[in-house]
Structure 1
């Protein structure tokens, strides 16, 4: 997994390696620590497509702890697409 924090966005790249004998569960939660920018949680995209099933009650950012939590059902279904996914979170403001 790669993570880049730039002036305009947070970009996370998720890479998997296929193994026929292992079925990966769907990814339903991503938690990122140490974010120094307030993310725009309403504009999150995965591979340039909006994530339509974001759970507002489980998606948040704390300016105190600098932790972003994204919950969706699912964010990524590893059985579909891949093996590389890019999550893009635009920045609302600097802290």
Structure 2
């Protein structure tokens, strides 16, 4: 028995969304959020979230429909998650933002 949503040749909203949300959870755990530890391991969830966003973009249809609108909302959610992951990744290196007086 094969699982259709795991086949990368087929379009799948579930696979892209799952990949982005799991990457966001992993980035949240890896960054140790309130303390914001700098770690290069956050590059892995960032790349996986971008791949998941690209997988969601593949599901776009050329004509407008409610499905097309739903995919558009999922793409916006993916972009917000990618922005959060990149914030977790880059913020510990921005010393000028965290300068104490």
Same fold (TM over 0.5): no
Instruction: Work out which structure has the larger RCO, using CA pairs closer than 8 Å and 6 or more positions apart in sequence.
Output: 1
The structure having more radius of gyration, on CA atoms, is 2
Greater strand share, structure number: 1
TM-score range, shorter chain: under 0.3
**TM-score, normalised via structure 2 length:** 0.23
